Amino acid sequence: MASERIIELRNLLNKACHSYYVLDNPFLEDAIYDQLYLELIELESQNPNLISKDSPTQRIGESPVNGFKSSIHRIPLLSLDNAFDLKELNKWFIKVNKFLEANECHTNDLKMVGELKIDGNAIALSYIDGLLVKAATRGDGSQGEDITSNVKTIKSIPLRLNLDNPPPWTEIRGEAFIPNKIFDFINQEKRMKGEDLFANPRNACAGTLRQLDPKIVANRRLDFFAYTIHFPHEWINTNNYPNKHSSQWDSLEWLKQAGFKVNPNSELMTDLEKVQAFYKKWNKERFQLPYATDGVVIKLNDFNHQISTGFTQKAPRWAIALKYPAEEAPTKLLKLTYQVGRSGTVTPVAEFEPVLLAGTKVSRATVHNANRIA
Ligand code: IVH
């Protein structure tokens, strides 16, 4: 029966995709995957009524669009307050403790989760009954753009949650990013075509997410780390909520179970010294990572602690982004040139011997003012 074979192929290929792109542990040879994929395409084209939205063939099915619809966020996407050194981290920690004490929370067991701050673009994924129905950019935090067809091409994002009892609605948030290698490759290609280069992986990712042709997006091999879940309140408050969790650490576990890629370098920590060591470790080791990170994010682990500390207008009090100092590297200036933009604006550009910064080779920088040119 075609319908049975379609279901079998769909499940097998989705599982293979998860093993390959999320677990980094493939179990199917590429050639076999391709062969089964072609069989599925053939069967679906003979039985279009049997194509389901979570079929792997639906990741790049869509044709170019004219633009993106705007999308209002059910829950705003806030940003994070920043700290730029360990002193500022300590200040945040003292403030948090005061808040908790004022709310009569016991702070002698204040666990924190340290995560890498991925230098990409925040996206919000809506799942209804386990099925991915919408993906939106952050935009101004209350309203973003609907980029669903582009996001479906990201193979580490499940089209269906891997849960027996999925919530009626859930929103997963995380960071889309371009691995450094792919970024270098895209810029090399752009250079050959005489096109303007992307300044860094984050810009390349943002530019790609807003590409009108999902086929180009699919070729750019974006990736995604998930870090936040929003559940419907009525669901959390019922006692038969199946996977009840009450901390950030549990959320990360839930996200893994549901099929997402969670950054493996996250750590559950019990005191400030560990947090400081976590920051120092990644400040050194970040250059070995295959993607860009511009700091670490420290979050109170316990949701009760998060509720007690609450939010300011723009950011949660229960989290802080501890940013790395801007990177510097000496190199030799080769020449100063001028770049003429499409609107006729002229920007001076310094060309120098390539240096490695944030994991990518840099050989040009725009210089915006007379002091810098001098
Ligand atoms: S949590 C309510 N965790 O950093 C705040 N953000 O500068 C939720 N980011 O807008 C954000 N890695 O796009 C969080 N592990 C991480 C992150 C992360 C990168 C981004 C995110 C956020 C921005 C704030």
pLDDT digits (tens, 9 = 90+) for 238-286: 655 555 678 999 999 999 999 999 999 999 999 999 999 999 999 999 9
117 ligand 1 Cβ < 6 A: yes
Ligand 1: residue whose CA is nearest its atom 10? 79
What is residue 293's three-state secondary structure? strand
pLDDT for 244: 63
Nearest atom of ligand 1 to the alpha carbon of 78: 2
What is the residue type of 372?
Answer: R
Question: What pLDDT, on a 0 to 100 scale, did the predictor assign at position 365?
Answer: 84
Q: What are the DSSP E strand ranges found in 97-222?
A: 112-118, 121-128, 131-137, 143-145, 169-177
pLDDT of 361 = 77
State whether residue 130 is helix, strand or coil: coil
CA distance 225 to 145: 19
pLDDT at site 104: 78
- Looking at residue 358, its pLDDT comes to 64
Residue whose Cα lies nearest atom 23 of ligand 1: it is: 79
Which of 152, 184, 160, 134 lies closest to 291 in space, CA to CA? Answer: 184
Which tokens belong to 263?
């950054």
Successive 10-residue mean pLDDT values, the chain, 374 residues: 95 96 95 97 96 94 83 95 96 94 80 97 97 97 95 96 91 97 93 88 94 90 96 66 77 96 97 96 94 96 93 94 88 89 81 80 79 72
Q: What is the pLDDT of residues 95-134, one digit of tens each?
A: 999 999 988 777 777 999 999 999 999 999 999 999 999 9
CA distances from 274 to 112, 158, 170, 245, 298 (A): 10, 33, 32, 24, 11
End-to-end CA distance of the chain: 74
Question: Given the CA of residue 115, which atom of ligand 1 is nearest to it?
Answer: 15
Q: Which residues are catalytic?
A: 117
Pocket-testing residue among 117, 282, 312, 313, ligand 1, by greatest number of atoms within 8 A of Cβ: 117
> What are the angstrom distances between the C-alpha of 37 and each of 20, 28, 150, 254?
15, 12, 20, 29
Closest residue to atom 21 of ligand 1, CA basis: 122
Pocket of ligand 1 contains residue 316 by CB under 6 Å: yes
Q: What are phi and psi of 118, to 5 degrees?
A: -75, 130
- Report the residue among 75, 78, 80 best suited for mutation to probe ligand 1: largest number of ligand atoms under 8 A from its CB: 80
